[in-house]
Amino acid sequence: MKRLAYLAMSAAVLGGAVFWAVTSPKMVDPKLFAGLEPDLAHGEVVFTAAGCASCHMAPGAEGAAKLQLVGGQEFASDFGTFLAPNISPDPVHGIGGWGVLDLANAIMMGVSPDGAHYFPALPYWSYERMEPQDVVDLHAYLMTLPPVATPSQPHKVGFPFNIRRMLGGWKFLNMRPEYVVDGQLSDAEARGRYIAEALAHCGECHTPRDPLGGLKLGSWLSGAPNPTGQGKIPNITPGALTWSEDEIVEYLTSGFTPEFDSVGGHMAHVVENMARLPEEDRRAVAAYLKKVAAVQ
């Protein structure tokens, strides 16, 4: 009996050590960002492509108010409702005290400056693929926006999903730096992949999830239930999306489909962002979508 108790205790200690190691926050390599000088103009492009204002502006904000990144928008999920935080450069309630590495760890690794896991409502699964230079440029641009001294609101997430340490296990199961679409790509297709899989995080909405909230990569961009419970986010893989590349570009520019329907819901913000990018970026996204594996 003593031996069994010893073995059980040893197994518990070992299991606890493994759990602690697996769920520990992982940080970016600071060397990747050393010596990089910011480009403010390009930082605005990254900001726009990544849709930062679309999620972090106040609910219903219009015009210049969209650049006041006070947060407060609600995002429903099967695990609770997440509220976008204040990411304005306010030093107390926003991210005004963050350096480049703080931002990099947050958006690429899902780790706060104090070492806590962020919920994957922040799409760090996608942003992990961001180029270090783009993070440096984004940080510089964010710091030029108006500071707003409004506290972030708490998420509406209950037990056990509010145990942030468990998110380390979610990351262990789901985080991967590789692109979903691989193989030989043209320069335009590779640029489109970077925009769609990293910056614009298209897969976060257009790909179905498993019971733990991980993306089902075998069904990449094949559509998913709308977290609000209203309708379905469409399948945009070849075959299901029959539009030509020119028609995709037009949709991402004007918001009108070939059938003269107009974009709605949160996708309207996506189109607004895409329309502000250079046309070659929209064409790159269209070219990428033609390379995605078809899922019926």
pLDDT along the chain (296 residues), means of 10: 63 61 89 96 97 95 95 93 97 97 98 96 97 98 97 94 92 95 95 98 96 96 88 93 96 93 90 96 98 94
What is this structure's pTM? 0.91
Interatomic CA distance for residues 249 and 124, integer angstroms: 26
Specify burial of residue 132 (Cβ count, 10 A radius: 0-12, 13-18, 19+).
middle
Supply the pLDDT for residue 22: 79
pLDDT of residue 229: 76
Predicted pLDDT at 286: 98
Spell out the SS3 assignment of the chain: CHHHHHHHHHHHHHHHHHHHHHHCCCCCCHHHHCCCCCCHHHHHHHHHHCCHHHHHCCCCCCHHHHHCCCCCCEEEECCEEEECCCCCCCCCCCCCCCCHHHHHHHHHHCECCCCCECCCCCCHHHHCCCCHHHHHHHHHHHCCCCCCCCCCCCCECCCCCCCHHHHHHHHHHHCCCCCCCCCCCCHHHHHHHHHHHHHCCCHHHHCCECCCCCECHHHCCCCEECCCCCCEECCCCECCECCCHHHHHHHHHHCECCCCCECCCCHHHHHHHHHCCCHHHHHHHHHHHCCCCCCC
Instruction: Tell me the C-alpha distance between 128 and 126, whole Å.
Output: 5
Q: What is the pLDDT of residue 52?
A: 97
Structure tokens at 279: 């046309």
| Radius of gyration (C-alpha) of the chain in whole angstroms | 20
Strand partners, 156: 81
pLDDT of residue 4: 63
The pLDDT of residue 266: 85
**pLDDT at position 19, please?**
62
Give the residue from 293, 269, 124, 130 showing the smallest Cα distance to 221: 293
Cα distance between residue 253 and residue 275, in whole Å: 4
Phi/psi zone of residue 93: left (φ > 0), alpha (ψ -120 to 50 degrees), beta? Answer: alpha
